[in-house]
């Protein structure tokens, strides 16, 4: 894939963002008409809205067994967990990896693996700070279970946050998703939890930054030791 300079200067905007950008722009013009300093504040808010809805292409690893991040953001949890009941996954502990997205991150979500969408469930809830682990069970969320080619299953849960009030999932039950394929979006600030087989080896650490569709979160088949990391 050839990367053009225009891709850096003028980012691709997700269609979901166009109405919001237009609304922010109109508000900026009206504020500027009332008082020019307010217009500049409105222009800054419009620029932020543009960056929020950016939707860049990503270079996705395609090696079998690699699990890529579903979200841009910061890893806030890595460890064993019980999957939420709405995913209807097999009972037992699994590996959960959570990524928190701030209002400055790209919010387009991508599939962590190749798989068929077997189940989708929406659960209403609270709007706690999505960086808190209790947000996994208390907040509004939308869960998706993928069935893998080998019969395994993976859960992906989009979670609303303190500011986020809208979860969008474009995938439908029966769809075949490819690793790194766009499947949804959350606005404005949120979290994605990924539930993997307990045998999966995590390759990220809490505090690490991730890029959706590019950063490898875990390995399902190669084995090895969990990755260690430290601030330097």
- The number of residues making up the chain comes to 232
Burial call 156-193: b when 16+ CB within 10 Å, e when fewer: bbbbbbbebeebbbebeeebebebbbbbbbbbbbbbbb
**Cβ(38)–Cβ(46) below 8 Å:** no
Judge contact between 127 and 162, C-beta under 8 A: yes
Choose, from 81, 131, 136, 190, the residue flagged as catalytic: 190
3-state secondary structure of 97: strand
3 state DSSP class of 231: coil
What beta strand segments (E) does 94-200 contain?
Answer: 94-101, 108-110, 115-123, 141-147, 153-160, 166-169, 176-177, 182-187, 190-196
Q: Under DSSP, is residue 153 helix (H, G, I), strand (E, B) or coil?
A: strand
Catalytic residue flag (residue 102): no
On the CB side of 207, CA atoms within 13 Å amount to: 6
Residues known to be catalytic: 190
């Amino acid at each position: 894939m050839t990367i053009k300079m225009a891709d850096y200067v003028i980012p691709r905007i997700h269609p979901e963002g166009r109405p919001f950008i237009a609304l922010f722009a109109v508000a900026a013009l009206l504020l500027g008409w009332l008082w020019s300093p307010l217009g500049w504040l409105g222009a800054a808010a419009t620029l932020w809205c543009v960056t929020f809805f950016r939707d860049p292409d990503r270079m996705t690893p395609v090696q079998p067994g690699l699990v890529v991040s579903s979200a841009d953001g910061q890893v806030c949890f890595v460890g064993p967990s019980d999957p939420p009941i709405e995913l209807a996954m097999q009972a037992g502990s699994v590996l959960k990896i959570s990524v928190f997205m701030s209002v400055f991150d790209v919010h387009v979500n991508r599939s962590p693996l190749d798989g068929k969408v077997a189940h989708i469930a929406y659960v209403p809830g609270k709007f706690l700070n999505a960086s808190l682990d209790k947000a996994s069970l208390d907040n509004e969320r939308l869960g998706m279970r993928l069935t893998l080619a080998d019969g395994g299953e993976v859960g992906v849960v989009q979670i609303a946050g303190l500011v986020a009030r809208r979860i969008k999932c474009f995938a439908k039950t029966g769809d075949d998703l490819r690793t790194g394929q766009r499947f949804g979006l959350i606005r404005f600030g949120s979290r994605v939890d990924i539930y993997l087989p307990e045998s999966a080896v995590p390759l990220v650490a809490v505090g690490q930054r991730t890029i959706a569709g590019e950063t490898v979160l875990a390995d399902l088949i190669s084995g090895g030791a969990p990755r260690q990391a430290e601030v330097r």
